Structure 1
Amino acid sequence: MAAFTNYQPVERQMSRTAVLLYRMKYNQCTFLVILLSIIDDCLAQTSCAVESFTVKENFDPKRYAGKWYALAKKDPEGLFLQDNISAEYTIEEDGTMIASSKGRVKLFGFWVICADMAAQYSVPDPTTPAKMFMNYQGLASYLSSGGDNYWVIDTDYDNYAITYACRTLKEDGSCDDGYSIIFSRNPRGLPPAIQRIVRLKQEEICMSGQFQPVLQSGAC
């Protein structure tokens, strides 16, 4: 009996040790989960730096040329084409890409008319042809003229294209005033498989949930 009674305290001590070890491991796991969550949040924040956005590799302007219809857009600040937006891209003999675009615009809060714009594109860095600079002119006095970056984030040339521009940056490198357009070769829309690709790209440029659909009724 003596041997048996001496065994019980040892057993209880071993149980307490096991509990302590379990609690230590649990606390370590909890700490790691919290740490990984913090790291993920930080990575998500830094990924919104504009310079971290990837663009279409080996962009081919000749394949990109032709007519595109806007299906969705995230507008910049100020006056912008409202709906029925389309753009026709052509390549000149010297290789320069130009575009003529049109769409409806609302003036004075009530007057909706079709407007035309023209643009010419240059490539500051030939090693990244998808990162272009766009000089644009409104072909009427009420439309603005100026210059913006014009990045082709992604395209398969035959179905869809996603363009992006950032006008001003915040101190952390994220965009303060930017815009993006989802283009399609077909004004009636994109198939579900391509819509999924587009949604992923919207997340990558930190604009998920910010797009508005663009009406294509043939008005322009």
Structure 2
Amino acid sequence: MTLERLREIVYEGLWNNNQALVALLGLCPMLAVTNNAINGLGLGIATLVVLVVSNVLVSLIRAHVPREVRIPIFIGIIATAVTIIDMVMDAYMHTLHGILGIFIPLIVTNCVILGRAEAFASRNPVLESAVDGLAMGIGFLIVLVVLGGMRELLAQGTLLDQAELLFGPTAKAWTLHLTDNPHGVLLAALPPGAFLGLGILVAIKQWIELRREERLHAQPQAENMPSHEPEKA
């Protein structure tokens, strides 16, 4: 895998084809658990691990799986990875596991994971599939954390509240109290606030893309403009 190919895969996962902002996949867990940044981070890490593991395994067996049964086999691989992650989180992050609840097992049905297994891992080598899973997972995780942070800040006036659930007792001091009023915008904590927050993130991405296209179109025009400097004799 060349460096250029690596950059292309990473750029696709983090920005150009971010599954949360472009394809709008995985909306159910994304909107349900992102009432704070730590919940979003916990679900994002679980999804990231499942994406990488499933992509690698699917790529390893892609030449030996009949086309007619590939989807059930892919789902079986994803379900196995999700079950392991679910058990690990229940053992070591029991409280956070209880908060995320059913949305950890529901990672099996996340279209982001099955979509990458079918669209990329089943058609590319192991290393490229691993990088794709990592990039797509990080892109999805960033959206979860940013959306959760936005909602937490507006609703509670804090950031990284309950960080100890993910990082242990020492992380209790990480909570940032940015306002003195603990009762913020109630809408941000409710499901409609999640839709509005995601809409804002999608709009920001589209605005950045439009600005980038405008600059790219303006650059050739500026280069082709005739010079008005007098010619030297």
* Common topology (TM > 0.5): no
For the superposition of Structure 1 and Structure 2, which TM-score range results when normalised by the shorter chain? under 0.3
Task: State which structure, 1 or 2, has the greater radius of gyration over its C-alpha atoms.
Answer: 1
State the TM-score, normalized to the length of structure 1: 0.23
Going by fraction, where is strand more abundant, 1 or 2? 1
- Identify the structure with bigger relative contact order (alpha carbons < 8 Å, sequence gap 6+): 2
State the TM-score, normalized to the length of structure 2: 0.22
Going by fraction, where is helix more abundant, 1 or 2? 2
